[in-house]
Amino acid sequence: MRIILEGKTLELRAIWFEDKKKGIVSMIDQRLLPWKFEIFRSRSWRDTVLAIKEMIIRGAPSIGAAGAYAVAQAAIEYDGDLKKIRKATEEIKNARPTAHDLAQRVHQVINHVSSLSSTKDVVNEAIKEAERIANEYVEINKRIGQNGEKLIRDGMKILTHCNAGALAAVDLGTALAPIRLAHQRGKKIFVYCTETRPWLQGARLTAWELKMEGIPHALIADSAAAYLMWKGEIDMVIVGADRIASNGDVANKIGTYSLALAAKENGIPFYVAAPISTFDFSIRCGENIVIEERSALEVVMVRGWDRDSKKTKHIYITYEECTAVNPVFDITPSKLISGYITEYGIFKNVSELREFIEKKSFH
């Protein structure tokens, strides 16, 4: 992703292996953006688990890559001892329960090395597989962008929710990939990004990414989206996903369901952009997806930038003892979704996608 920092233009990913010998994984600290740019250096698989839990790294693909890197870190730390690595993977894959990519990518790395007899090979192959997974996400995102860009016409006004950009997907993004490509190809587009309470990923991260790319945009309160749809100010909605059930129900950032309902009422196409790895065909429907709940403090407090102290600051927005419920995701039923933008193309429903995958595997 393009990052303009102190007058210099950098190209960075959300997460990368900085030192393979020492097992150091670096990632952009997403808690501090857009006010402060810092790199968090994880020196162990436990640090990476903490980074996932504490939202230093977030977004299903980025979490998937982080999980893969964490297994590689465990392999380095334990000198290829598979018994110890497997024990670490249990903690790694449970760092956040809703995103499908995390557990899937952790299993992918451990399965890749499980049959190896040499401990040196276990370490080397774990590192290679983690890097391969991260690179694969970037290539997949490029294809998602190419497929989704075809839906975007010149002059369109597009709504996106939360952050499904480069920060959430190693690089380029899922929902933002078609938007980036449309802008690069000269299409005059405008993006509305929701603030996304309570972590404000839209306000802090998506708006920042759009600024870095020079894409015209405006931030709106979550509750303003339906009104703008009613006014005819929005032509399309594109969101990401953390897990998609076999019937097409989508788990995504809280507030997605409300947007889908409003889009349906106003005849606006609602697309979900996600790699195939986000589809969990072992789960029948949205009701079977575990929805993570986080601390009530995230709802009763808000974090922002204090210009005087030049530091982030938490303040209460209600009385201190107020109780709150904080589900991080919601479920959008498949009937509200116009299509799924994947690396293999755009599919109207999951049955169509599964049929494509089966034919592809057969050939």
Residue 271 and residue 340 in contact, taking contact as beta carbons nearer than 8 Å? yes
* E strand map for 8-103: 8-11, 15-19, 24-28, 39-42
CA separation for the pair 174, 144 (Å, rounded)? 7
DSSP 33-50: TTT---EEEE-SHHHHHH
Q: What are the distances in angstroms from CA 69 to CA 38, 62, 200?
A: 20, 10, 27
Query: Edge-to-edge, what's the strand order for the sheet holding 243-245?
Result: 279-280, 243-245, 250-253, 329-332
- Catalytic residue selected from 101, 171, 242, 249: 242
CA separation for the pair 182, 312 (Å, rounded)? 34
Residue ranges of domains in the chain, CATH in brackets: 2-141 (1.20.120.420), 146-289+332-362 (3.40.50.10470), 293-326 (no CATH)
Considering only CA atoms, give the Rg of the chain. 20
Residue 214 and residue 124 in contact, taking contact as beta carbons nearer than 8 Å? no
CA separation for the pair 56, 53 (Å, rounded)? 8
- pLDDT score for 361: 63
Tell me how far the alpha carbon of residue 328 is from its chain's centroid.
Answer: 13
Q: What is the rounded end-to-end Cα distance, in angstroms, of the chain?
A: 35
3-state secondary structure (DSSP) of residue 71? helix
3-state secondary structure (DSSP) of residue 123? helix
pTM: 0.93
Known catalytic membership, residue 242:
yes
Please give the chain's pLDDT, 363 residues, in tens: 999 988 899 999 999 999 999 999 999 999 999 999 999 999 999 999 999 999 999 999 999 999 999 999 999 999 999 999 999 999 999 999 887 899 999 999 999 999 999 999 999 999 999 999 999 999 999 999 999 999 999 999 999 999 999 999 999 999 999 999 999 999 999 999 999 999 999 999 999 999 999 999 999 999 999 999 999 999 999 999 999 999 999 999 999 999 999 999 999 999 999 999 999 999 999 999 999 999 999 999 999 999 999 899 999 999 999 999 999 999 999 999 999 999 999 999 999 998 998 887 644
DSSP 173-206: BSSHHHHHHHHHTT---EEEEE--TTTTHIIIII
